[in-house]
Amino acid sequence: MCGSKLSACYYPSPTCQAIRSSPDLIYVLLPPYCPEGWSSYTYVPTPGSGMASRKKVYQFFAQEISPYSMKIRPYLRYKNIPYETVIPSFQVHREIIIPRVGLSVVPVIITPEDKVVQDSTAIIEYLEQEHPYPPVVPPTPKQTLVSLLLELFADEWLTIPAMHYRWSKPEHKKYIALNFGFVMKEHTSPLEQMENLEDFKFYSSIKNSFPFQGINENTIGEVERSYQEFLEDFQQHLNKYPYLLGYQPCVADFAFFGLLYAMLYRDPVPGYLMKCQAPLVASYIERMNGAVLSPSHDVIDGKAVKKSVPPDKQGLLPGDEIPETLQPILHRVFREQVPVLLDTVKRVSQYMKDNPDVDVLPRIIGLHDFRLGDVTSQRGVYTYPIWMLQRITDYYHSLSPGQQRMIDRFLEEYPGGQELVQADLTGCRVERMDVRVRRAEPAKSKL
C-alpha cells in the first residue's frame, strides 16, 4: 500500500498500491479509472534518484514499418516501462546490432543492465519476468492457449496479406520506398530517399521474398478475400469487446497490433481498405496506439473527472471464457494456418533427420502446398514457426491431465485442434537463435 515514499505520489488515492520493481523505480497501481483499463499503471521515479533512474531506461531498437517492432511499442507503453527508441542507422546496425545479435534485425532491446534481447516474442517473455504488472499472459489455460495461437497467427500468417498489400500495390510504391529510404538513405534529401531503393540488397531481398509466402497470381484473389473476411470477423468481435480476450489486452493483442498497424493500417492501400471496410479495426489500432476516441471523463462539481469502469468491464473475461465472437477467427486459424504448421512439423523433422550435421536450420527448407479458400498453391517451409509452435505444445504438456482434457474439449470443434496441441515435436526440437532456429540437441560431430 501507499508508503511514505508515495505520500507525495502523483495520484494520491486510498487504494493505490506501490510495487517496487527495482531500487530506482516504483510502479503505482491506480484504481482502474481508465475506461479501457489501459493506463492503470504509472511510472514514478524515486524522488532524488536523478541520473540513477535515467540508467534504468531500456533502449528499444525499432522501425515504424516493422511489424515485430510495433508489437513491442504498445506493450512498453501499456506496462509503463521507461524506454528510448533508437531508429537504427547503418552505423547502429554495424556497431551495435550486428556485433551483439549476429545480424541486422529489429526489434532488439538493450536492458538497463546492458543485456541484449532480440525477437518480439522473447522480448515480451523477458519483460514479463522483469515487470510482471500488469500481466499480459492470461492466468488460465484456455485463454493462454488462445493467446499463444493468435500470437502465432498474427506473427506468421497475417504476414501473407501484409506482404501482399505492401509489395503488390503500385499506387503506394513511393510511400513504401520513402519509409525504407528514411533509414537506408538517411543522408540524402527526403525526395531522394524514395528513389532507387532497389540498389539496396536489404530492400530488394525483403521485396523479393514475398513469393515464398505463397503470394502469386493464383493466390492473390484468395489472399485479399480471406483478409477482408478476417477484417469483418475481427470487426464483429470488436463490436462486443475492446480486446481479444475481453477488456484488457493480452500478448496476442500486441501481435495483432504489430502486423496490422505497421503494414495493413499504415500502408496506404490496405489502410484505406481497413478504415473504409472495418473502421472498428482501425480504431482498435488507434486505441492501442494511444488515441482516446470516446468520452473519457464525467463532470463532477464542475470538474472533468476520469470515468470509472464498471467491474464487469475490466480485465480478461472471467471463468477462462473465450469470447464467442472469436470463433470465426479461430476457425480461420485452424482452416488456413494449422494444416501448414502440421506439415511443417513433418518436413522439419525429416530435414533434421536427413541432415544430422546441420546445426542452424535454414530459414526456409523447400516448398510445400497450402490452401486458401478454393485455391491450392505452394509456399516456403519456414523453420522459425516450429519454435513458436513448440511453445504451444510445451504449454499444453505442462498442464494437469484435467486441464488438458478441458483444452481437448474446447478444441473439439476446431478440425486439427487436438492434433496441433498434441503434435509430436521430438524429431524437430529447436532453440531460437535469432530469426533462425537451431537444433535443441547439438548436431552430431562429423569427426
List interacting residues with ligand GSH (CB under 6 A). Answer: 66-68, 103, 105-107, 119-121, 155, 435
For residue 335, the minimal CB distance to ligand GSH (Å) is 24
Which 8-state DSSP code applies to residue 443? Answer: P
For residue 436, the minimal CB distance to ligand GSH (Å) is 9
For residue 422, the minimal CB distance to ligand GSH (Å) is 25
* Distance of alpha carbon 322 from alpha carbon 414, whole angstroms: 14
Residue closer to ligand GSH (CB basis): 105 or 260: 105
Instruction: Tell me whether residue 265 is exposed, middle or buried, using C-beta atoms within 10 angstroms of its C-beta: 0 to 12, 13 to 18, 19 or more.
Output: buried
Residue closer to ligand GSH (CB basis): 156 or 336: 156
CA distances to 13, 24, 145 from 44, rounded to whole Å, are: 15, 9, 34
Q: Which amino acid is at 92?
A: V
Q: Which residue has the cell 491506480?
A: 30
Residue closer to ligand GSH (CB basis): 32 or 67: 67
For residue 54, the minimal CB distance to ligand GSH (Å) is 27
Residue closer to ligand GSH (CB basis): 9 or 101: 101
* Distance of alpha carbon 250 from alpha carbon 146, whole angstroms: 10
Residue closer to ligand GSH (CB basis): 103 or 191: 103
Residue closer to ligand GSH (CB basis): 206 or 358: 206
Q: Residue 239 in contact with residue 326, Cβ under 8 Å?
A: no
Nearest to 254 by CA among 33, 38, 34, 19: 38
For residue 169, the minimal CB distance to ligand GSH (Å) is 19
Residue closer to ligand GSH (CB basis): 89 or 236: 89
For residue 258, the minimal CB distance to ligand GSH (Å) is 8
How many beta carbons lie within 10 A of that of residue 436, not counting itself? Answer: 16
Nearest to 374 by CA among 340, 341, 335, 406: 335
Q: Can you read off the three cell numbers belonging to residue 159?
A: 504476414
For residue 172, the minimal CB distance to ligand GSH (Å) is 18
3-state secondary structure of 69: helix
